[in-house]
Each structure stands twice: as C-alpha cells, then as structure tokens.
Amino acid sequence: MGVQYKASEHDAPILQDITRHIDQSLGGWYGSASELISQTPEVRSYTNSFLLRYGVRTQAGSKVILVKIRRNPKMESLKSAITARELHGSIPDEYNTLQFVHERIGDGHANFTAIRPLTYLQEYFAIVMEEFPSRSLRQLLYQQRRSGNTSELMTAARRAGELLRFFHEKVHSVIESPYSSSDFLTHVESFASRLETYTRGRITSGSIVNAFARRLSTRELRSIPFSAAHQDMTSDNILYSDATGKVCLIDIRTKPAPIYSDLALLLVHPETYRDQIFRAGRFFSRELLREYRDSILTGYFGGGSTDRFLVDLFCAMRILDKWTMHEDLFHRYKRWKRVFTRPLAPFVTAYFRRELDRYLTGID
C-alpha cells in the first residue's frame, strides 16, 4: 500500500526533468494529439519504490503512465534514492525483462496480458511503463474471504495459473533437467541450518531434513521440469483487471529453477500472511484456500493430471522458506522489539511446523 510522499525541494528539478521526458515522448507512444493531464505527477511512496503517476489524454481514451524508481524504506526523497547507485544495479535487466515478456505476451490473449514498458531513463534509474488498472490476488482474497460469491477470485486464480504456465512454456521454455532427491535435500538444508540458528536450537536442522527425507523415501527424484522462474511468484505480483478480466505479472526477475518453485509459492502465499499466522490459520478458511489452490492448479495444468507429490513437496519447501524468513526477523529485532515479539516466537514456530507437516503428509 502506498503512503504519502513528503515533497522535497531537492526533488523539484528531478520531477521537472522526468516530466519533460514524458511530455516529449507522448507523440511516439500515443500519437500527436496526446497530452499530459497535469505537469505535476502524483507521487506515491511504497516500501521498495517511488511511483510517479501521470494522467494522459489520447485519441483512444485516457491512460496512466507510471515511473518507477527503486528506494529503501528509509529514503524519503527521490534524490536520496537516485544517488544510492547500489540499489539500481539490476534495474536495466528488470526493464529488459519487461520488454521481453511484453513482446511475447502482448494484448492478444483472452485471459492475460503484460505490462507495456515505454522507456528507461538511465539518468534516474527509472522504468517508465503503462499502468495496469487492477487489484492484486491478495486484495481479492481479503475482499472476498467472507463473501458468499468468490467467483471473481477463483476466475483470477485460474487465469493466474494459466498465465504462469504460458510464462514458463511460451515466454521461456521448459526443459526436463537432472534433479535428484539429494539436490532437493541440499536446498532444504540451506533453510534448515539457518532456521536452527535463528531459533537458537528450538528447531534442529536434522529434524527438518529428516522430515523431508521421509517424504522423499516414497519416490526417488531423478529429473524435474525447469524453466526461467519468476522468483517472486506471490499473490501480490499477480494483478487482475476488473475492466477486462485479464491478469498480468509484475516484478519479474527470472532465474532457472524447477517450475514447481513458482507454482508452490503462488499456492501457499496466503497461508504465510500475518493475519493467517497470528489467527492460527483461521483468518482464511480451509475451504477458501483449497478452492483458491485448486483454481490455480486447474489453470496451470489445464484440467489435466497434476503431480500432487511434487506440488506438495515444493509447497512444503516454500513454507520452510517463509518460516525461515519470519524466524530471521525475530532474530534480528533489537531492544524493545525483541522484548515485544519474544512471546510470539513459539506461536509462529508452532504454526509453521503444523503447516509444514500438513504438506509433507499430503493431508489438507
């Protein structure tokens, strides 16, 4: 959720120059009759970025242009964000990825689309793109959790699965690659050893690795489908358009990985929301989450057979990943934060242990 941006006198020249770039480029993007509705953008501050919003009039109707500049939460001005060059090393790759995905998805699909990138302003490490008016899957989950009609949510979830499959197979390509049970357990160990450190031995690495090993003893892995994975395939990074019913992906940073890695994160992400954790898994009902997961799997596998063993195995891995992240946060807290959160740590541990066991035993 965006928070109010605190205007800074140091940012005024930056905003003026970015606005000039946008204004001069409108004709090439939308035709000579296009114009900015205002020369002053709306600026929103998010945890990891500033977003500048420009309204545009075109012959085909109104558009909104976004300018994204990366920040960290302590940076209150555009200037401080821009001068922190270490933040922006991957931004050109992020823009190139947007272009790559848009070229291969475009607007020709009935159920999904792609963000349209417009330009990259190197001087400001700024990505310029069209806004996709939408709600995220997370927002749909929260808005419809008590509704008697969740058809819109499930449509969005099914189309998210369909888009993820297209992203793996058509935007990139899927290759069956060697991947053994030993490889999987090595990955598990990387999380489990950190978990043991963060919990000060309350959870041992061996107990986690052995739990996964018992599950793997029922089926030996030798190979698995790999593709260019999204890497952060959360419900926040799937957007759903109320106007068109289409979904799209955002915040894409690809890296080769098993296809089940992306899929599993999208499936289990609602189970790792703080509301779900601190209400002992009762904020979203089991029935709603089961329907949500089934809709994604139907979209991804097209109604065909689903390898539930691999789905559950990678879901367990993603639960372990998120568990480690939460214990890391507790471990890092200092002074009053540590005092305040100390009683919560066993509660969080118990929740994630229960969810991990549920996926490892295949019981929903």
Count, residues in the chain:
364
| Mean pLDDT across 145-161 | 93
Whole-number Cα distances in Å, 22 to 60, 222, 226, 275, 305: 18, 52, 39, 40, 48
Q: What is the pLDDT of residue 243?
A: 92
| Mean pLDDT across 126-145 | 95
Give the burial class of 189: count Cβ atoms within 10 A of its Cβ; 0-12 exposed, 13-18 middle, 19 or more buried.
Answer: middle
pTM confidence score:
0.91
Give the burial class of 358: count Cβ atoms within 10 A of its Cβ; 0-12 exposed, 13-18 middle, 19 or more buried.
Answer: middle
Sheet holding 223-229, edge to edge: 175-178, 223-229, 255-258
CB 363 within 8 A of CB 289: no
| Mean pLDDT across 208-223 | 96
Q: At what angle do helices 137-144 and 151-166 cross, to 10 degrees?
A: 160
Confidence of residue 5 (pLDDT cuts 50, 70, 90): confident
Q: What is the pLDDT of residue 363?
A: 66
Q: What is the pLDDT of residue 356?
A: 97
Q: What is the pLDDT of residue 54?
A: 97
HSE, side-chain direction, 13 A CA sphere, residue 301: 14
Confidence of residue 74 (pLDDT cuts 50, 70, 90): confident
Closest to 117 measured CA to CA, from 65, 167, 82: 65
Q: What is the pLDDT of residue 364?
A: 64
Residue 288: phi and psi, rounded to 5, are -65, -45
- What distance in Å separates the CA atoms of residue 164 and residue 168, rounded to the nearest whole number? 6
SS (H, E, C) the chain: CCEECCCCCCCHHHHHHHHHHHHHHHHHHHCCCCEECCCCCEEEECCCEEEEEEEEEECCEEEEEEEEEECCCCCCCHHHHHHCHHHHCCHHHHHHHHHHHHHHHCCCCCCECCCCEEEEEHHHCEEEEECCCCEEHHHHHHHHCCCCCCHHHHHHHHHHHHHHHHHHHHHCCCEEEECCHHHHHHHHHHHHHHHHHHCCCCCCHHHHHHHHHHHHCCCCCCEEEEEEECCCCCHHHEEECCCCCCEEECCCCCEEEEHHHHHHHHHHHHHHCHHHHHCCCCCCCHHHHHHHHHHHHHHHHCCCCCCHHHHHHHHHHHHHHHHHHHHHHHHHCCHHHHHHHHHHHHHHHHHHHHHHHHHHHCCC
Residue 74: phi and psi, rounded to 5, are -85, -5
How many beta carbons lie within 10 A of that of residue 305, not counting itself? 6
Share of the chain above pLDDT 90, in %: 81
Confidence of residue 304 (pLDDT cuts 50, 70, 90): confident
| Mean pLDDT across 275-294 | 94
Whole-number Cα distances in Å, 96 to 58, 105, 111, 229: 26, 14, 24, 16
Q: What is the pLDDT of residue 129?
A: 97
Position 124 pLDDT exceeds 70? yes
Q: What is the pLDDT of residue 138?
A: 96
Tens-digit pLDDT profile for residues 192-207: 999 999 888 889 999 9
